[in-house]
Amino acid sequence: MKYQTFRLNKERYIESCSLDEVLAPSSGARDACWIDLRRGDHASTEQLLASLGIHPLAVEACLDPTPASRLVAYGKSLFLGLPTQTRWDAEHHAFLWVVCMPGRIITLHEEAVPALEMVIEHYSDGMRFHGESTSAILYQILDHLIDQGMAFTLRARDAINQLDDWPEQKDEDDLTEQTLSLKRRLTRLAATFEDQLYCVGVLQTIESEAFNIEGLNDYFRDAFSHLDHASRSVGRQLAHLNAIHQGRQLQLQNKTNERLRLLTIISTIFIPLTLLTGIYGMNFRNMPELGWELGYYGVLAVMAAIASAMLWGFYRTGWFK
Same domain as 119, residue 51: yes
Length of the chain as a residue count: 321
Same domain for 308 and 183: no
**Three-state SS at 280:** helix
Number of domains within the chain: 2
Same domain, 221 and 302: no
Q: Are the C-beta atoms of residues 155 and 88 closer than 8 Å to each other? A: yes
Give the residue numbers spanning the domain of 296.
Answer: 258-316
Residue 40's SS3 state is coil
Structural domain includes residue 220: yes
The residue among 199, 216, 251 that closes a domain is 251
Residues pairing with 98 in the sheet: 80, 107
CB atoms within 10 A of CB 230: 23
Residue 283 in any domain: the answer is yes
Residue 144 shares a structural domain with residue 197: yes
Whether residues 62 and 178 share a domain: the answer is yes
Per-residue CA distances from 158 to 14, 88, 129 (Å)? 36, 13, 33
Along the chain (321 residues), what's the average pLDDT of each consecutive run of 10 residues? 86 86 62 88 88 89 86 87 85 87 90 90 85 89 91 88 73 78 89 90 80 84 91 90 83 84 87 87 78 83 90 84 70
The string of DSSP codes covering 125-141 is TT---SSSSHHHHHHHH
> Do both 147 and 272 map to the same domain?
no
Tell me which of 196, 229, 251 is where a domain ends: 251
The answer as to whether 17 is a domain residue is yes
Strand residue runs (E) in the chain: 2-8, 14-16, 32-38, 70-74, 77-84, 94-101, 104-109
Same domain, 287 and 139: no
245 with 262, same domain? no
Residue 142 confidence (pLDDT): 93
Q: Is residue 321 part of a domain?
A: no
Separation of alpha carbons 261 and 272, rounded Å: 18
Q: Please, are residues 219 and 131 in contact by the beta-carbon 8 Å criterion?
A: no
Per-residue pLDDT at 169: 55
The pTM of the full predicted model, rounded to 2 decimals, is 0.77
Given 207, 234, 251, the domain boundary residue is 251
Residues 234 and 304 in one domain: no
Which string of DSSP letters, residue by residue, matches 204-262? TT---SS---TT-HHHHHHHHHHHHHHHHHHHHHHHHHHHHHHHHHHHHHHHHHHHHHH
**Together in a domain, 152 and 38:** yes
Nearest Cα to Cα of residue 91 among 193, 198, 187, 174 = 187
Return the CATH number at 304: 1.20.58
Asked if 213 and 272 sit in the same domain, the reply is: no
* Residue 9 within any structural domain of the chain: yes
Tell whether 165 is covered by a domain. yes
Do 8 and 69 lie in one domain? The reply is yes
CATH code of the domain containing 41 = 3.30.460.20
